[in-house]
Structure 1
Amino acid sequence: MGKKGKRMGENGRKLGKNGDVVPEIRALCMEELGLWVRRFPGSFLTDSHLKYLGWTLHDKQGEVRLRCVRALQGIYGIPEMAPSLELFTERFKVVGKIQGRNGEKWGKKGKYWAGKWEK
């Protein structure tokens, strides 16, 4: 690790927090993390795991952001998980509503996301 906590990739490129330079890997990881949170909320519905979804909402690749939003859609769609999502929702400004390219709404029961994920 370097002085500022960043690792060097194989061609000397600095890797950030997530460390993955391949968008497909980041997208797949967020999709799987969403499944784990829904299946095992006792272990994965925590701020230490949700932060990765929050960071990925601002990924430079649209497909990565889209998969992250879909993972969050599944999590927010389970009413029992809502109390555990309050801090995440506030911290990552996950409020408002997201609309897809055709105007369809993503989310359930008043839980919508705002942002620019469909670029």
Structure 2
Amino acid sequence: MNSLSLVTLVSILINISFGFKTNCTSTVGEPCSVWLEPGEPAYEIFHLCLTDSDKELGVGLLKKGADLSEIEKENILIQTKVSEDAKKTFFTSLNDRPYASNRNIVIVPNDSRMGSRLNKQRRK
């Protein structure tokens, strides 16, 4: 197996095990998103990166199987109210994915349609 295939395989396994998908690369000039599922390890890492004032807003508290309306509310709070420091800390925890203001954190439902929903968002 060549080294590129091995690196790709390891990256896929890490992404699956941490419960997030992303189209982010190490190039900060490109806009991108990290998609997290409530209750998954990556969502818990995001929760740990939040400041106390972010948590007081109710961000990072969703449980697995959360309601779509709760998820939408949290996404709005992440985009408008969550501190840049918390976002930067979270992106720092994702190897080779530095933070820039054009990078988004998006919470998605825990369901079997996540892959198709993300593929549609990536094409936009």
Name the TM-score, length of structure 2 as normaliser.
0.28
Larger Rg: 1
Give the number of the structure whose residues are more often strand, by fraction.
Answer: 2
Instruction: Identify which of structures 1 and 2 has the higher relative contact order when contacts are C-alpha pairs closer than 8 Å and 6+ apart.
Output: 2
**TM-score in terms of structure 1 length:** 0.29
